[in-house]
Amino acid sequence: MALASSFHGSLAIAISLLQMAFVLFLAPLLYGWIGTVRAILQNRSPAGILQPWRNLVRLFRKEMILPEGHSPLFLAVPPLFFSIMAVAALLVPFLGTSPPLAPVADAVTLVGLFSLARFSMAMAAMDLGTPFGDMGGRREMMVAFLTEPATLMILFTVSLWSGSTSIPSILTSFSKGPLPFHPSLLIAAMAFILVFLGENARLPIDNPSTHLELTMIHEAMLLEYSGPLLALMEWGSMQKLLLYLLLGIDFFAPAGIPRTFALSGLLEGGILLLGKLFILGALLALIESLFAKLRIFRVPEFTALAYLLSTLGFLLHFVLEG
């Protein structure tokens, strides 16, 4: 009995490490794929999907230059932000419907981790008192003012079908058969797309490749970082984008996610998952090629639309499907 318990414990740790390693390795590749498709659509020569990995390696090798007047908070936030995203990778099931950390893989906990990561990044940006860092931190919290409630409403909407906010329970209830068509889930999916763009600082909310300080949101908070600290912040942001896509797959396209961690199921489910990410990355690049960046004063309207859609989806469940 003790030997079996030890074996299951070791297997759970191995699966958890495999899931974390998958996110750490794939996140920069997904960023590179999005950049490649976007370059092709804009008639530019792409740098290749490995370019984000090259950038990270170069940053880790560079000397770290610290700005004058920094506090310990400025140094602590990059490893904290990266660690939060790594822990969040353990809570989003994608290799199986019952991950090792299923008892704590709650949707509200995940949103709390994302909120903590954003808050710490904004505090670090304001720590030095520079104009652009302070501006970026304030803008980031402005975007979060409505995207976080919208995220919670989306999670509550999908949790109504399983009776629990546990992500594995929601995924299990959706993966039992073909995902039924329900207006509430359709509206929630539309709201999730808007939330995804806002939470990850993508067009039309923010331009991740801009160099104009007055239009920056996310990038303005990273201007004072360099070397390994900047690499950790960039790598953590890449993980966050991938985790949001995986969360969207769990809720709105769960077909093919294996129920057990058998080798054959993992291979088949892994190939299907990569195909989904391949398509979603291309669609994101298409969206960013078709839409221009919104003026900063129009961003609250965009996030308010996401919140209204998420609330509408939640109410439709009781009106049409309850």
CB of 219 within 8 A of CB of 136?
Answer: yes
Residues forming beta bridges with residue 106, ordered by sequence position: 166
Do 265 and 259 touch, CB atoms closer than 8 A?
Answer: yes
Does 56 reside within a domain? yes
Range of the domain at 93: 15-321
- Please state, in angstroms and rounded to a whole number, the distance separating the CA atoms of residues 247 and 183: 19
The count of domains in the chain is 1
Q: What percent of the chain has pLDDT over 90?
A: 54
- Judge whether 169 lies within some domain: yes
Chain segment 259-316, per-residue pLDDT in tens: 766 666 678 888 899 999 999 999 999 999 998 888 888 999 999 999 999 999 999 9
The verdict on residue 225 lying in a domain is yes
* Inside any domain, residue 1: no
9 domain-assigned: no
Q: Is residue 180 part of a domain?
A: yes
Residue 5 placed within a domain: no
In a domain, 4, yes or no: no
Q: Tens digit of pLDDT for each residue in 123-171?
A: 999 988 888 888 889 999 999 988 999 999 999 999 988 888 889 888 8
What's the pLDDT at 7? Answer: 44
pLDDT of residue 253: 87
Write down the pLDDT at residue 177: 57
For the whole model, what pTM was predicted?
0.93
